[in-house]
Structure 1
Amino acid sequence: MISVLFVDDEPVLVDVGRLFLQRSGDFSVTGCFSAEEAVNLLQKHSYDVIISDYQMPGMNGIDLLKIVRNEYGDIPFILFTGRGREDVAGEAVNMGVNFYVQKGGDPKLQFADIGHKIETAVERRRALLAIRESEQRFYDIINFLPDATFAINMEGDIIAWNREIERITGTKAEKMIGRRGYTHSVPFYGKRRPMIIDLLLHPDPDFERQYPSIQREDSTITAEGVLHLSDKDHVFLARASFLFEKAGKPAGAIESLRDITRQKASEEKLRRIITHLPVGVHIFRTDDQGQLICYKGNPASKNIFGSDRECEAGIPIEYLFSGTDKERICSVCHNIAREGGTKCFSEVQIISGNTTKTYDLTVFQTGPGEVAILFNPGERQ
């Protein structure tokens, strides 16, 4: 049901309008006979649309329109004017009237046309309100994210800059929203330059080489980098992903930055501990193809697989296991590399040269996209 406030100093016209509208559509019509009375009603009730005559004693329709726009926003407003009042129509358009209608002619046809205009204006406003509410929810979510987060549209205009990124950069959103040309990078680097979010929208292989840890997965890029903020170097994990329109077309991108400085310090401490462990440890990293590749092992890991080296660098994790354990262990390792966690496996058989050895394995994440496998000799070995 669409609620209509009909304002006209001619009671008969108000009654006729109410009759035609309520018979022809899903309308509930409240009538009043002056703009002053309409203002009083608006203070007490809300309406989906206002229809007002222009020429009335005291306050006219344009005066009422000005009050509505100043105090009640974009409520659809339809203005009745007499013939030959193009000057009034022009002023009404400048004030934000939705439609203006000249009085006269067949009342049935005229109010049928007004009914159509009411439905059109109300549908447009409801659609606009839905978009505004959706945008507000998006901004509210962005603001409450714990990670520093910003977003840009396809033209590079900054459309979101949340509270956490304000805090770490000291730059307020009002200074950033609407700016373009890599302006989002200035608070971090002191100059305009691409960031991870820009590599998502506009891939640049040469520039990507500045991020050795960069990973692409579907519509997301992840990379680590060092930023100088508050007179200190901080290690950040950056993640950028597309924003999509309802139809699935990219509308922009969003990037979040998580300060992992303490985590990296802890990882380095862990690596030093691993180096001095009396049992073998191999560390695997996820490459660009999503494979876990061995890149490092501690001194105690020598000869686990019949090799004199600490780690067969570049060997995929799938090459290290065989039999029924292979698929299960490799699947768990990939999952832990992505999401973290720890998993233990008992009595896993490893082929070492011409012999078979049994180990208890412990798998744990040592960093994003990275796992370590601890090889503890079984009791029967």
Structure 2
Amino acid sequence: MYSILYVDDDEILLSVNKIYLEKNGDFSVDLASSATIALERIPAGKYDAILSDYQMPGMDGIALLKEVRQRHGNLPFILFTGKGREEVVMEALNHGADFYVQKGPDLKGMIAELKYKLNRAIERRRIGDDLKRSRQQMTDIINFLPDATFVIDTRGRVIAWNHAIEKMTGCRKEDILGKGDYEYAIPFFGERMPMLIDTVLQDPPALNQPCSGLRLPENKISQNLFAPRMNGGRGAHLWVHAGPLCDADGIVEGAIETIRDISDVHRIKHDLDQSLNANRGFANILPVGVYEIDLVCQLTFANTITYEMFGLVPEDFNLGINILDYIADPDRERAFREIQGAAKEGSSSGKEYLLQKSDGSTFPALIYGAPVIDPETKQPVGLRGVIIDLTRRKQEALALFESEERLKLILAGGDIGVWDVEMRNLAVHDIYNWCHSTLGYDFEPGKPLTVNACKALISPHDLPKIISAFYRHVEGKTPLFESNFRAQRRDGLWVRVTVRGKVIERTADGEPLRITGMIYAMSREPESDDPLTRSDP
């Protein structure tokens, strides 16, 4: 039931019309015999509408309408007029009357028109109030959003501009609300131009500003773009999201755009990309293979050497490379277990595997790995490390072994021994076999002899010339340390020997650190006489 204040100076009409209006229970009608009385009652009456005669003494209906609009806003107002008063009707409508009803002899028809127009005026006001409240709620919600947000209607006029976008752009909402013609683009781009929000209202969407990462999930659009006008002309990288605003029936009434300044994120990403490129560039100059795999051994990064090791090219990466496919069958299962263990338990100390190239050939390699840890979950997500091709190392080791074996045969056949002296501790190495075969002594293998122990085997008569030859070489006066002397065998007999050597390592001050050389018997026949009783020939 709607509450109506009916104003008329004709008390008969007041009573009659009240009866008819209240007849079906749709209206409750209060009566006022003058405009002055009506203005006194309106504040306390909570009326849904005012019904007023035009011609009344003192203050007519137009004057009452003006007062009602000034004091009570859009309170529905219907004016009674007589026939032939078109100028009154026009004035009433110009001052905000919702409807007018002409008086006439057809009372039943007049009352029906009154009821219809009262209902229309009241419902229209309620719809308007609901819309206003809804928009206010929307405005309040938008103002509480932490991201810069604005809303336009279907004609492109700004109807909401929240606090965050005021702070971002420096443009107050009082200066932008109600404006269209792409006014909202000026704070971002310095000119009027369509923004992402406008594409929501277009079919198909069209963008005029430089952008990247455009996505169209259903009827919402998001993109990354650069706004050159932001930050005093330094510009800003923005993430923008826009979508339609619809009423309860799904009819589009406007669009909303949310803007987030991601300049810091963009800067961090740029720095991260630079760091990543630097790391990968560094990896490409290393002389070993550098790799990164996930927990199922799928390759996520490899440097140039790694591709070359396996006979691959970087384009193969896009096809997917699983490192297990390039480990030979005998080692594949072990490799998978050890890779999983290294990812979970920590870095690998280095394991040797037989690896397989794309052409099927194999080569030995040493693989080191350390877990890749997710910074958020602190859990391993993969493994990164290095691959060292052992092919050349093994070939060199084999060649060295064969060379050493040949040298041993030569030394054994010629009764020749080698020796190596560390000057720091005067320890003599590698002479055990010769001492045993030539002199008959059984020194403990692996335990170094001392220079003093060796001097005890030399004839005292020969020591001075040996020492002299040594110092002449150390001082650079001779290219080699060379001398002949007599050494006593275990059975007491004497053997003439020759020793040759050279300093192969010195300190920064030139002091000898290491001397190496050879020793051999000049004759296989021992001498029995005492060397002290005669001099060397």
What TM-score does the superposition give when structure 2 sets the normalisation length?
A: 0.52
Give 3-state SS (helix, strand or coil) of 1:38's partner.
helix
Change in CA separation of 1:174 and 1:29 when aligned onto 2, cut-off 3 Å: same
Change in CA separation of 1:20 and 1:199 when aligned onto 2, cut-off 3 Å: closer
Residue of structure 2 aligned with 1:234, choices 223, 233, 236:
236
Give 3-state SS (helix, strand or coil) of 2:211's partner.
coil
Change in CA separation of 1:37 and 1:276 when aligned onto 2, cut-off 3 Å: same
Give 3-state SS (helix, strand or coil) of 1:24's partner.
coil
1:49 aligns with 2:56: no
Q: CA deviation at 1:351?
A: 5.3
Q: CA deviation at 1:35?
A: 0.7
Q: CA deviation at 1:131?
A: 1.8
Q: CA deviation at 1:64?
A: 0.7
Aligned partner of 1:374 in structure 2 is: 381
Inter-partner Cα distance in structure 1 for 2:315 and 2:245: 41
1:148 aligns with 2:155: no
Q: CA deviation at 1:59?
A: 1.3
| 1:7 and 1:33 in contact (8 A); partners too | yes
Aligned partner of 2:126 in structure 1 is: 126
| 1:279 and 1:374 in contact (8 A); partners too | no
Inter-partner Cα distance in structure 2 for 1:307 and 1:38: 99
Change in CA separation of 1:106 and 1:156 when aligned onto 2, cut-off 3 Å: closer
Q: CA deviation at 1:281?
A: 7.2
Question: 145-154 or 25-34, which moves further after superposition?
Answer: 145-154
**CA-to-aligned-CA distance 1:51-90 (integer Å, 9 cap, x gap):** 1112222111111111011111121111122344333223
Q: CA deviation at 1:352?
A: 5.0
Question: 147-156 or 46-55, which moves further after superposition?
Answer: 147-156
| 1:157 and 1:178 in contact (8 A); partners too | yes
| 2:211 and 2:226 in contact (8 A); partners too | no
Inter-partner Cα distance in structure 2 for 1:2 and 1:171: 44
| 1:182 and 1:194 in contact (8 A); partners too | yes
| 1:276 and 1:298 in contact (8 A); partners too | no
Output aligned runs, 1:243-254, within 5 Å: 243-254=245-256
Aligned partner of 2:60 in structure 1 is: 60
1:117 aligns with 2:117: yes
Q: CA deviation at 1:110?
A: 2.5
Inter-partner Cα distance in structure 1 for 2:153 and 2:316: 45
Which consecutive unaligned segments of at least 5 residues does structure 2 have? Answer: 281-289, 345-371, 385-537
Aligned partner of 1:175 in structure 2 is: 175
Question: 249-258 or 265-274, which moves further after superposition?
Answer: 265-274
Aligned partner of 2:257 in structure 1 is: 255
Inter-partner Cα distance in structure 2 for 1:51 and 1:32: 10
Change in CA separation of 1:190 and 1:295 when aligned onto 2, cut-off 3 Å: farther
Q: CA deviation at 1:375?
A: 1.0
Question: 153-162 or 271-280, which moves further after superposition?
Answer: 271-280
Aligned partner of 1:326 in structure 2 is: none
**CA-to-aligned-CA distance 1:337-375 (integer Å, 9 cap, x gap):** xxxxxxxxxxxxx8554544535686679xxxxxx9931
Higher relative contact order (CA 8 A, sep 6+): 1
Q: CA deviation at 1:178?
A: 3.7
Inter-partner Cα distance in structure 2 for 1:175 and 1:7: 43
What TM-score does the superposition give when structure 1 sets the normalisation length?
A: 0.71
Inter-partner Cα distance in structure 1 for 2:293 and 2:195: 35
Q: CA deviation at 1:128?
A: 1.7
Aligned partner of 1:324 in structure 2 is: none
Aligned partner of 2:34 in structure 1 is: 34
Cα RMSD for the two superposed structures: 3.8
| 2:291 and 2:299 in contact (8 A); partners too | no
